[in-house]
Structure 1
Amino acid sequence: MRKIRYKKGRKVQPFHLEYTGLHKSHESEMQLFVYNDSDLTEYHKIKVADFDKSIVVGKTNWLNVHGLNDLELVKAVGDYFTIDNFMLADILNTTKRTKLEEQQEVLFFNIKSLLPTEHSDNIQVEQISFLIKDGVLLSFQEKRSDFFIHIRERIRTHSGIVRSKKADYLMYILLDAVMENFYITLEHEEDKVEELINLSKKSDDPIILEKIEKHRDNFNFLKRSIIPLRDSLYDIKSIKDDNVFNVIETENFSFFARLHQKSLELLEQIDADMGALESASNFFFSFQTHKMNEIMKTLTIVSAIFIPLTFIVGVYGMNFENMPELHYSYGYYTVIGIMVLIGITMLFYFKKRRWF
């Protein structure tokens, strides 16, 4: 799990842009969609110098930036759209929590996208930021990914109402796509928890406890990622001031309310899964305790059987001369028979009392 490093975050000053993420080897490039209900134009690997002739006022413009390691490109985009350096710093500083902010007719929203890592218990983290200004939606991704492929296809094929809506609705469906990754991650974690519960009932291998703690950390990380998202979506859902979030059309506030509801469902499910994980931990310790009790019970029974036998051996181990049984020709076999009989009788008694 990636932790927030406070000292590193402090170094990022408003006028000193620094990308703090992990994906520094990915090439930065931009893609632009310009569309309305009747027309679509798509640009690949577009340059900032081409914005003037490509971005069309009155249409929905979606500029997607892949890769944030090219600081000059990010700064050029920010200068073109007159985006405050504070917002650019928040885009590049991936240690920041989810944030919603409106400033100078710019709506800024960043979110953590989480996905499970293949063949590992770790979670992949990528920060995605959105800005809406003057009918243009800008999205910034740390690396090229397939989160929005289906949305691009919906735009290309004129599927649904996306082409008839503006940038605020587009941001809604992009956020919805990112939130789907939470469900994928949560489902993956739930499968792992189910495996751990089954293992905890059968094995006392200490590695099980390590895995339980690892997935508990994952659930806590999921929760910490969703809670600020829930709060931001609640701000949009519950706003009643006409001077706030002007870039979102009134009829589209209900869509963000749906996202808020999804965040609540995710948090409730995480709480339930953490309870299941706690059950796995309890099963593990219960299994260990039960196994230890079984061992102690077996040892106690063996000890109880051998106590009278040890007494008999102790008696005949004393160095007295006048012990009549010592001179009896069948004395040895008689004592051994009595000892065997005592052992069998005690075993039968313990079995009848269901002590084992």
Structure 2
Amino acid sequence: MQMRKIVYKKGRKVQPLHFEYTGIHKNNDSEMQLFVYNDTDLTEYEKIEVADFDQSLIRQKTNWINIHGLNNIELLQSVGNYFEIDTYMLADILNTTKRTKLEEQQDVLFFNIKSLLPKDNSDNIQTEQISFLIKEGVLISFQEKRSDFFTHIRERIRSHSGIVRTKKADFLLYVLLDAIMENFYITLEHEEHKVEELINLSKNSDNPIILERIEKHRDNYNFLKRSIIPLRDSLYDIKTIKDDNVFNLIENDNFSFFSRLYQKSLELLEQIESDRIALDSASNFFFSAQTQKMNEIMKTLTIVSSIFIPLTFIAGVYGMNFQNMPELKYPYGYHTVIGGMVFLGIAMVIYFKKRRWF
């Protein structure tokens, strides 16, 4: 078997220490939102500045800084300088081509993830990179644009619903990651509805657009799988952090929550494999219908040809115009030959019918 060659595709490169936002949401303004809370108290700041951190952040409480928009490079550098964040991490936050990963460095935990959602009235999937940093009781989330991924979490914090106010920044990270993983389930459910629709269409139509849509959704499933596998690996790495017992930004009681996310990632991958098999069924239905239709056409053409072959032979014999052909002198020779040809054709049709060839 011949080995497939690996083709290098030259693309635009971003240097590790060069701060440049590579995403598509370049028209969104950058702004920050801050929640400072504990079990008994909550303070919320809208459109806060880095200069206000000294007065607003309370290290004894949980501090959640949410940044919308990554166009303001100076703002992100100011946040990085304030919290002494490694420049490589800032570059990874801005570079949306990076795969999902988990990284621990000294007193910082960095998590990078892709959030996926289906586009309305389309077979495409929209993606957004979201990054998280935990340092000294402060969780910083970086979003490419303002969205409603975490709206229900903000309401839970405001209304003191659940246990999120009683936990620290590591539990808040779990809640935010869980909200993002819910988007994977929504996307997967949307794909399943599309696949079911394609299966029904492939049974009743031979439109080649169906095959194009099948291939499009096969690409979507491959994209989902490529997005979830590094997430699964990153969640598994959190277990390694626990086993090392040297990183204290995640409390021991909260590792079980991240284990739940790991199990969810496994469930998503298993469901993707199952749905890909269903998508193959749609493709098989389409090709089977095409083959069946072609067989019916070929069978019809073959029967017609079989009927006309002996008739063509007879017409050819009496079309040779030899002088000594006695049938040419019979008064009813023409009518006899035509009648014989009609009788032969009808007899062949009856024979084919009895043999159930059509």
TM-score by length of 2: 0.94
Which stretch shifts more, 286-295 or 196-205?
Answer: 196-205
Q: Which one-letter code corresponds to 2:12 in the other structure? A: K
Distance in 2 separating the partners of 1:5 and 1:156:
48
1:275 corresponds in structure 2 to 277
What are the within-5 Å matches in structure 2 for residues 1-356 of structure 1? 7-9=11-13, 11-14=14-17, 16-238=18-240, 239-244=242-247, 246-356=248-358
User: How far is 1:73 from its partner?
Assistant: 0.6
Which stretch shifts more, 60-69 or 286-295?
Answer: 286-295
The answer to whether the 8 Å contact 1:12/1:93 transfers is no
Q: Which one-letter code corresponds to 1:69 in the other structure? A: N
Which stretch shifts more, 305-314 or 337-346?
Answer: 337-346
3-state DSSP of counterpart to 2:12: helix
Q: Which one-letter code corresponds to 2:333 in the other structure? A: G
- The one-character-per-residue Cα deviations of 1:294-343 (angstroms, maximum 9, x if unpaired) are 11111100000111111121122120334444344443333222222211
- The one-character-per-residue Cα deviations of 1:257-290 (angstroms, maximum 9, x if unpaired) are 0000010011111111111222222222222222
Which stretch shifts more, 137-146 or 316-325?
Answer: 316-325
- C-alpha distance 259-314 of structure 1, shift in aligned 2 (>3 A): same
Distance in 1 separating the partners of 2:243 and 2:201:
51
Q: Which one-letter code corresponds to 2:24 in the other structure? A: L
User: How far is 1:350 from its partner?
Assistant: 1.2
3-state DSSP of counterpart to 2:141: strand
Q: Which one-letter code corresponds to 2:87 in the other structure? A: N
Distance in 2 separating the partners of 1:205 and 1:116:
24
Q: Which one-letter code corresponds to 2:340 in the other structure? A: I
Distance in 2 separating the partners of 1:75 and 1:47:
13
Distance in 1 separating the partners of 2:165 and 2:51:
26
Q: Which one-letter code corresponds to 1:8 in the other structure? A: R
Unaligned 5+ runs, structure 1: none
Which stretch shifts more, 291-300 or 133-142?
Answer: 291-300
3-state DSSP of counterpart to 2:299: helix
Unaligned 5+ runs, structure 2: 1-7
- The one-character-per-residue Cα deviations of 1:33-89 (angstroms, maximum 9, x if unpaired) are 111111111111111111111111211111000000100111111111111111111
Distance in 1 separating the partners of 2:193 and 2:137:
42
3-state DSSP of counterpart to 1:252: helix
- The one-character-per-residue Cα deviations of 1:213-242 (angstroms, maximum 9, x if unpaired) are 211111111111100000010111353121
Q: Which one-letter code corresponds to 2:343 in the other structure? A: L
3-state DSSP of counterpart to 2:297: helix
The answer to whether the 8 Å contact 1:40/1:156 transfers is yes
The answer to whether the 8 Å contact 1:110/1:129 transfers is yes
Distance in 2 separating the partners of 1:5 and 1:143:
29
3-state DSSP of counterpart to 1:113: strand
Which stretch shifts more, 188-197 or 157-166?
Answer: 188-197
- C-alpha distance 266-6 of structure 1, shift in aligned 2 (>3 A): farther
Distance in 1 separating the partners of 2:9 and 2:97:
7
3-state DSSP of counterpart to 1:347: helix
2:3 corresponds in structure 1 to none
Distance in 1 separating the partners of 2:166 and 2:9:
43
Q: Which one-letter code corresponds to 1:132 in the other structure? A: I
- The one-character-per-residue Cα deviations of 1:173-197 (angstroms, maximum 9, x if unpaired) are 1000001111111111112222222
